[in-house]
Structure 1
């Protein structure tokens, strides 16, 4: 019996499946042609950031005039809802930068007599409020970054001869200077163009001086962890972002024709560039900034717009989508996509173009599909099966998940419960009480799209109980080397035959204890004469063990199989230590003879060949543990087994 299951809707933008890069979907655009262009670049816009306030997604874009707040909740109709004039503005204003913390935006500029502006965004989209606007610490800065885990604002570049400043924003509206460093400090740091910080560890992009990695856990006593000043395709070390694994760092040189670097930082004292990648464009392509969300890297690539790379394999990024915001030709200047912000809950990506303003794109909107990463899974009944799937999203949240073909009573859970782009979704299928082969089918859908995938699920149970055939129950005069036969059982991969003198003890003192794939067995070592014995068979597979009934039989008082005169031999010494010598009767030496060593319970352990005509054979047994063994000789005239004791 199979089951259909519909899971609750989840606000989800799924992950992209590998494939050839495609053009992302443009959702909306905003610009203001009345803004004054810069005299150097003829540009009007610079950095982009984003926030969510009161259920609204807000884009934040800098311009020559100041900071614009654009409501992009409906990306098709971006609407400016607030504006804050910059302390410095006009045709010489090229650079602004932003970072947010606890609902406050920290805004700086790198031209003119500017300030640090702290803007309260809690009332958006209705309004914003400038709660701090001061040049107390600096008048210009190139970039800012907030280490949100420690409430520290890092300020890079700018004026005053300082490379980097650390300001506490524990009180978000009242920054406090913690430390500042430059090339002349006791702890010297060259000019810092940009910075990424995770839990006090600062990844510093130092322009022509390369890259520095510094631990600012103690702001007044920083520790240099490593540097990278000579590396492949070295240019102007401009910016970078750390992957979620905390090991791989993606580093950008703002130099035409230079690729993005993958840096292995597993050993900070030995930073290494382990790969290069680019926008697959013209030879003079140039990257500006990169950010990472989940398993995707988003790059603002000047003339080539926004570029999206799958970094599921962090060393080998795969270009998956793009949107070109600039329709001019690539050259050796600076035009096109300046910044990118991929952290909105909707999964929509914000891009700022220096010349054309704000773009809102869906980087995964080429098609909708879902695919399991495993084609087939096998598990045992009453355990759990784990599979994973990834999604390519043109979906619009919320999504629903419908299962068909699951075993009856099966339960399903996702991890993470609400995946975001770049996540691989793990599925745990439990309560698997029904054995069989199933083809669970998953359909993911939104209001207008659906995609389906399936995999093969095999649920195995423990094997059936084997039936005993012979020796028959309570039979008598059974030969000392009888054939034990049992019925094959469904699902068994192996069988274990056990013969004991005690019906209650199948652990100690067993006469036979062997594992085989067959359904019959003849012991090599004779059973005791005139004895009441008990036997059973265990059917075994990876999912469990099934134990047969216990049958009893009585052995005969003599056996014609192991006659002393048939094949006699001597063992000395016995007990033995490391070796034992076997001697044959003269009339047997002319025959081929094989020698086999068995455990006390009949398990074959080793074999030797006896050269024809040789009087004695020396057997090395030092590798076997102390205990009782059986040594069997077999020739054309018969076989015989003698007990061998190893004692050291």
Structure 2
């Protein structure tokens, strides 16, 4: 087993190994950095949380920095599916699949003891479909990607795990949860820490395996159920994670070639893998502050690379999460141009870029979303967050392991080590969310009051599915009548009074406002129609 490769692994206590059935093979055991990362991860192990399922018709909007119990900004909560409801264990990586025939969206959820499949096509009510058990044991480190409607799954530490291949179209017929078997098993490596897939070429890259000196083990998966070994990248040893693309960036010398961008423990290492039999290392570059180069992602123009380092926060006096910005104008000479420091104190883990945002899973700080529009000036700006780790924010290996932001619906999956699958919906630049957070008192049994939101920059008419979210504090919400008034004076009834003795009102109302012009002043009108109770509009918003 790989965990016996070095005497240094004796630093891992027998109790820790027995607790989680994992090892420092998750981080190269032949380096002090890898051993330190594994020891730190095991020391922070906590069992899965046993909180209740959050399954609501409309989700919970982020209002005044909270959605249900979760700290947030510009990200609404749709649902929570705890690990106990999808096969148990603790959580790790997550990916997604969209069924091309139905458009349904599915979560592929990594856990210590297997891979869960969840239908999230109704994101406020996720449906667990079943489990693909781990092949040969439990592991804290599991990873998966998708190609041609198949999931490809690897796990670290497990000697004979290999790469499981699962045909995702089988999920179409599932009506009750079941235990699945793999459609194929690739055995040319045993354990592997991560897997990347270039969907454009049909090649998978298993990294951190017991082959190729830990570098990318290349697999031809163009026929998904018949994977074939294609080659090794071993010049720079252990690779922790990689992104491999057909290059279309600014360096003309490499356009059209298949290039891998490897996070190699203390460097960014760039390799031309066009010829799988003879890969060529283009660059190997270190950086100030390096402790454990963990993972990174290209901007959509392939000019810049954002890199996260898993141990730098622990080592530095400043514990804020750091993101290293690289300019790749010349692939042979990458330049570290700056480092973004998050407002939050936390260890970073996995990030992915979509539509000008980097979606980062930063352990105890949860999902953090960075606007990368000014990356050319080495400047990133936090645009929103959703913290699934409610016990606090610090460096350490608890909370958000990874996220998946690529669904057409705009939902984002977050998988927590202890929390399970959390489904959220960001409301970022261009999302059409307009909010008023100024308190407006509602008199007891008095005249109606209004609170205004001015909408600008939305072309044409309002949508037929305009969402109105209200947060009203009131001692008897059954007394409340609510209307939405459009800029042209059209009135839409949101709520009538009726028997309801509960306090406060937090709700989202869909409105067909397609006959109203979008831009202008929108008003929320509220009235208490009976005596003896008071309240106020705490906040409300429109989402186009």
TM-score between both structures, scaled by the size of structure 2 = 0.60
Give a deviation string over 1:149-181, Cα, whole Å, max 9, x none.
111111100223442111111111111111113
Whether 1:116 and 2:168 are equivalent positions in the alignment is no
Q: Contact (CA 8 Å) 1:27, 1:362: kept in 2 or not?
A: yes
1:258-269 matches, cutoff 5 A = 259-269=322-332
Q: Contact (CA 8 Å) 1:369, 1:451: kept in 2 or not?
A: no
Aligned-residue offset at 1:215: 0.8
In the other structure, the counterpart of 1:577 is none
Change (3 A) 1:451 1:173: farther
1:23-34 matches, cutoff 5 A = 23-33=74-84
Give a deviation string over 1:385-444, Cα, whole Å, max 9, x none.
xxx9689xx999799xxxx99xxxxxxxxxxxxxxxxxxxxxxxxxxxxxxxxxxxxxxx
In the other structure, the counterpart of 2:417 is 354
Query: Which of the pair is proportionally richer in strand?
Result: 1
Whether 1:325 and 2:388 are equivalent positions in the alignment is yes
Aligned-residue offset at 1:370: 7.6
Q: Contact (CA 8 Å) 1:250, 1:262: kept in 2 or not?
A: yes
1:185-196 matches, cutoff 5 A = 188-196=235-243
In the other structure, the counterpart of 1:60 is 108
Change (3 A) 1:446 1:244: farther
Matches of 1:124 and 1:134, distance apart in 2: 19
Whether 1:198 and 2:245 are equivalent positions in the alignment is yes
Aligned-residue offset at 1:33: 2.9
Q: Contact (CA 8 Å) 1:56, 1:125: kept in 2 or not?
A: no
Change (3 A) 1:368 1:104: closer
1:343 to 402, 406, 419: 406
Aligned-residue offset at 1:73: 1.2
Aligned-residue offset at 1:451: 8.2
Tell which deviates more after alignment, 246-255 or 329-338: 329-338
Change (3 A) 1:397 1:163: farther
Give a deviation string over 1:535-570, Cα, whole Å, max 9, x none.
xxxxxxxxxxxxxxxxxxxxxxxxxxxxxxxxxxxx
Structure 1 residues without counterparts, runs of 5 or longer: 1-20, 38-42, 183-187, 372-387, 406-444, 455-648
1:50-129 matches, cutoff 5 A = 50-53=96-99, 54-90=102-138, 93-113=139-159, 114-127=161-174
Aligned-residue offset at 1:306: 0.1
1:408-487 matches, cutoff 5 A = 447=512, 452-453=518-519
In the other structure, the counterpart of 2:359 is 298
1:240-279 matches, cutoff 5 A = 240-255=296-311, 256=313, 257=319, 259-279=322-342
Give a deviation string over 1:474-508, Cα, whole Å, max 9, x none.
xxxxxxxxxxxxxxxxxxxxxxxxxxxxxxxxxxx
Change (3 A) 1:397 1:206: farther
Q: Contact (CA 8 Å) 2:308, 2:349: kept in 1 or not?
A: yes
1:180 to 232, 252, 263: 232
In the other structure, the counterpart of 1:312 is 373
Q: Contact (CA 8 Å) 1:192, 1:205: kept in 2 or not?
A: yes
1:215 to 246, 269, 272: 272
SS in 2 for 1:244: coil
Matches of 2:301 and 2:458, distance apart in 1: 19
Give the count of matched residue pairs: 357
Matches of 2:517 and 2:374, distance apart in 1: 25
Query: Which of the pair is proportionally richer in helix?
Result: 2
Give a deviation string over 1:255-278, Cα, whole Å, max 9, x none.
123511111001112211112213
Q: Contact (CA 8 Å) 2:268, 2:285: kept in 1 or not?
A: yes
Q: Contact (CA 8 Å) 1:370, 1:451: kept in 2 or not?
A: no
Q: Contact (CA 8 Å) 1:35, 1:65: kept in 2 or not?
A: no
Aligned-residue offset at 1:295: 1.0
Q: Contact (CA 8 Å) 1:370, 1:453: kept in 2 or not?
A: no
Matches of 1:57 and 1:366, distance apart in 2: 24
1:164 to 194, 216, 230: 216
Q: Contact (CA 8 Å) 1:247, 1:266: kept in 2 or not?
A: yes
Q: Contact (CA 8 Å) 1:365, 1:395: kept in 2 or not?
A: no
Over the aligned positions, Cα root-mean-square deviation in angstroms equals 3.1
Change (3 A) 1:162 1:367: closer
Q: Contact (CA 8 Å) 1:370, 1:389: kept in 2 or not?
A: no
Aligned-residue offset at 1:339: 0.5
Matches of 1:30 and 1:134, distance apart in 2: 29
Matches of 1:451 and 1:26, distance apart in 2: 29
Change (3 A) 1:82 1:202: same
Q: Contact (CA 8 Å) 2:384, 2:428: kept in 1 or not?
A: no
Change (3 A) 1:84 1:269: same
Q: Contact (CA 8 Å) 1:368, 1:395: kept in 2 or not?
A: no
Q: Contact (CA 8 Å) 2:457, 2:519: kept in 1 or not?
A: no
TM-score between both structures, scaled by the size of structure 1 = 0.51
